[in-house]
Structure 1
Amino acid sequence: MSVRLLSGAALMLGLLLPVAARAESPSTKPSHAIDHRQWNAPQKPFRIYGNTWYVGPYGLSSVLLDTGQGLALFDGDLPESAPVIEANIRALGFHVRDVKWILNSHAHSDHAGGIAALQRDSGAQVLASANGTHEMALGGADRDDPQYGSISDYPPVHHVRVVRDGEVVRLGGVAITAHYTPGHTQGSTSWTWTSCADKRCSRMVYADSLTAVSAPGFRFSDHPDRVAAFRQAIATVAALPCDILLTPHPDASNFWQKVARRKSDTDVAPLIDTGACRAYAATATTKLDARLAQEQGTRTK
């Protein structure tokens, strides 16, 4: 497949969006509190590394992986993001119908909302965890979700292939591993694979959100089993082989700051940080501890 490469100058130009549009997305807030136009701000697609590309809008990640025998897409973002993602795929010289897999991080409207449209337009197989599959079939209206009642519904997604925790799925020459990381939602999943360029391979991590966000009235501390699973999920992410960290909300991993330091779209050095997953996990632990302490303080007042 012929792919039109973006020059370093074009990459830098594409990142120079208006300041208002480039404000960091407040990813710790429930999605109903967010201006979706901010999340869906335009972003030119570009190569992250090797066969891995960024095709999402500015505020929400959607990552494209060229396996050599079809494309894999991580997350479909908002319902209104689907045409943005498809346009970005085409701008890179790919075809939407070449997307064979769509893999989901978690089944909220800002990461799964566009999947039904992308599935329809591409004919792709959707892959998710067991709980994620259940929530997508409900269009996000899952009473078991900590944010139930405060998040937007979206078009339901059906015909989803359930991927087990630790399962390795293969498309073309690429192996992708699913890591269940429940906490933000019960079905949260992180994904890992390897991308290579110029005889150098990097271990890629698409780590799901690890924030303890909920609808009013939900208390994580009332669910010790969830807290234990949340802590195990954080430990899982911390232990992942990790050269380049990507997250569903790019600001959560300082992605745009790293991209801004690149001299060209082939300059991978600013993106490489073997401690990024551990740092991401450490921040998650601090925030979870603070949330639990806040809940305890509320209870004792």
Structure 2
Amino acid sequence: MFEAISLLAWLAAAGGAPVPAVDPLTQPITTSRSAEWLAPAPPEEIYGNSYLVGFGGMSVALIDTGAGLVLVDGALPQAAPAILANVRALGFDPKDIKFILSTEPHFDHAGGLAALARDTGATVVASARGAEGLRAGKHAKDDPQLAYGGSWPAVTTSMRVMADGEVLRLGKAAITARATPGHTMGSMSWSWQACEGKACKAIVFASSLNAVSADDYRFTSPAGAPFVAGFAQSYRTMDALACDILIAAHPDNAGEGRYNNRPGACRAYAERSRKALARRLAEERAK
């Protein structure tokens, strides 16, 4: 679907200057799950100033701060035009996007960042390790998925590094960086409050917490130990967060629907990962 978007449609979605007929920043990355991840979904208001502008199997969020927009994650490279089209469908101008927050340096969440940053002029925001991966456009040398190989468009535009607990302030929004390592050592989740009148809810956009790796990788090895410790840190973080609404980087990891507003959603998200990691470690030790 996304490969067939014409140049004219691309320009209408992005609202930017003409680009080459073959855009190097939006060339498709195709996997066995890319069609599922990019299943079309209409833009949707979550609560207050917060919206979803992503897909059936991959979350992208939008926050209207009153002084500019903030986008969370960028999906695959070929998804960038559709993300900007969804922003426009909500009545917003993509040129008002001031920041794009990254959850992790992997192609499925970071692949579209380079095109989105170029087309909006936004600053990409990531953890220090995340920023390294985004600038390189490839897996870190210690990444459990390194052996899969592959690359994605590197971010060469403005970037801001944020530390765990640091707050990004824009307009009426205060968005807190929450380090959630394990899936990658640079993974970052993001939390903020969205209000309707005097009623406010805590929203968490959670990075992936899956213990996924290439076939020959072992989390029980010395190389895997920092990742296991990272997961433990992330579980503590998710357990402690105020979390009225959970948006997971991949919606199916959070439960049914595109987001989860059930009580204890973040704790349940962490618990599912905790159990899956325990099974993985037990299987490795049994071999």
Calculate the TM-score normalised by the size of structure 1: 0.82
Greater Cα offset, 237-246 or 157-166: 157-166
SS, match of residue 194 in structure 1 = strand
Residue 282 of structure 2 corresponds to residue 282 of structure 1: no
Once residues 149 and 71 of structure 2 are traced to their aligned partners in structure 1, the CA distance between those partners, rounded to angstroms, is 24
- State how many pairs are aligned: 256
Deviations 1:92-139 (A, max 9, x none): 110110000000111111100000000000000000001100111111
Q: 1:83 aligned to 81, 84, 108, which one?
A: 81
Deviations 1:259-291 (A, max 9, x none): xxxxxxxxxxxx532311111111111001011
SS, match of residue 142 in structure 2 = coil
State the partner residue of 2:163: 164
State the partner residue of 1:242: 243
Aligned 8 A contact 2:74 2:80 in 1 = yes
Once residues 277 and 258 of structure 2 are traced to their aligned partners in structure 1, the CA distance between those partners, rounded to angstroms, is 25
Q: Which amino acid aligns with 1:282?
A: E
State the partner residue of 2:186: 187
Calculate the TM-score normalised by the size of structure 2: 0.86
Distance 1:86 1:33, change over 3 A: closer
State the partner residue of 1:36: 34
Q: Which amino acid aligns with 2:249?
A: P
Aligned 8 A contact 2:140 2:146 in 1 = yes
Aligned 8 A contact 1:108 1:151 in 2 = no
Once residues 48 and 246 of structure 1 are traced to their aligned partners in structure 2, the CA distance between those partners, rounded to angstroms, is 10
State the partner residue of 2:201: 202
Aligned 8 A contact 1:246 1:255 in 2 = no
Once residues 206 and 257 of structure 1 are traced to their aligned partners in structure 2, the CA distance between those partners, rounded to angstroms, is 12
Once residues 257 and 127 of structure 1 are traced to their aligned partners in structure 2, the CA distance between those partners, rounded to angstroms, is 23
Aligned 8 A contact 1:242 1:273 in 2 = no
Distance 1:204 1:151, change over 3 A: farther
Once residues 61 and 258 of structure 2 are traced to their aligned partners in structure 1, the CA distance between those partners, rounded to angstroms, is 18
Task: Output aligned runs, 1:122-141, within 5 Å.
Answer: 122-141=120-139
Return the offset for 1:33: 5.2
State the partner residue of 1:3: none
Return the offset for 1:41: 1.6
State the partner residue of 1:118: 116
State the partner residue of 1:7: none
Task: Output aligned runs, 1:1-301, within 5 Å.
Answer: 34-150=32-148, 152-158=150-156, 159-222=158-221, 223-256=224-257, 271-298=260-287
SS, match of residue 220 in structure 2 = helix
Higher RCO (CA-CA < 8 Å; seq separation 6+): 1
Q: Which amino acid aligns with 1:283?
A: R
Distance 1:72 1:80, change over 3 A: same
SS, match of residue 149 in structure 1 = helix
Query: What is the CA RMSD across the aligned residues, in angstroms?
Result: 1.5
Q: Which amino acid aligns with 1:294?
A: E
Aligned 8 A contact 2:247 2:258 in 1 = no
Return the offset for 1:217: 1.3
Aligned 8 A contact 2:99 2:124 in 1 = yes
